[in-house]
Amino acid sequence: MNSEAVVGLIHNTALLLGLAVIYDNLPDRKPANPRFMQLMTGLALGLIGLAVMFTPWEFSPGIVFDTRSILLSLTGLFFGAIPALVAVVMTAVLRLFQGGQGPGRGWLSLSLRGFWGLSGGAIALGNGRLTG
């Protein structure tokens, strides 16, 4: 692994730590305007997602890795629907502007990551049910 790859992965990891900082600094009590707080949280998480997308690790020409899938899944899991939706829309719009191959697949992938996080959160809270 070359030094550029290591730097890219460290940078993406540092940005994901920003997710933990946001989660830790959310107020424990219910805010006066919870929707506004959720929108601002989604905006902050979306900005982290944009930063992650601007600093990918290129494995080989055309094969790029970043941690946006992890970010969006954890956003849905820990922060809820509104922050996840805001972050997914922000990253999906950037994906459209970046161009390249498969923007539709990129949108679908980003949306599914947020949905999987929300599903996991619902199951963990007992709001969802898995039968098996």
Residue 130 lies in a domain: no
The pTM for the full model equals 0.78
Q: Tell me which residue range forms the domain holding 103.
A: 3-125
Q: What is the pLDDT of residues 60-109, one digit of tens each?
A: 776 777 788 888 888 888 888 999 999 999 998 988 887 777 777 777 88
Tally the domains of the chain: 1
Residue 31 lies in a domain: yes
- Specify the DSSP class assigned to residue 59: E
pLDDT at position 127 is 56
DSSP 25-51: HS-SSPPSSHHHHHHHHHHHHHHHHHH
Residue 112 lies in a domain: yes
Q: What is the pLDDT of residues 1-34, one digit of tens each?
A: 677 777 877 888 888 888 788 878 877 777 788 8
Residue 132 lies in a domain: no
Residue 131 lies in a domain: no
Residue 104 lies in a domain: yes
Residue 60 lies in a domain: yes
Residue 115 lies in a domain: yes
Report the C-alpha gap between 11 and 120 in whole angstroms. Answer: 27
Q: What is the pLDDT of residues 108-119, one digit of tens each?
A: 888 888 888 888
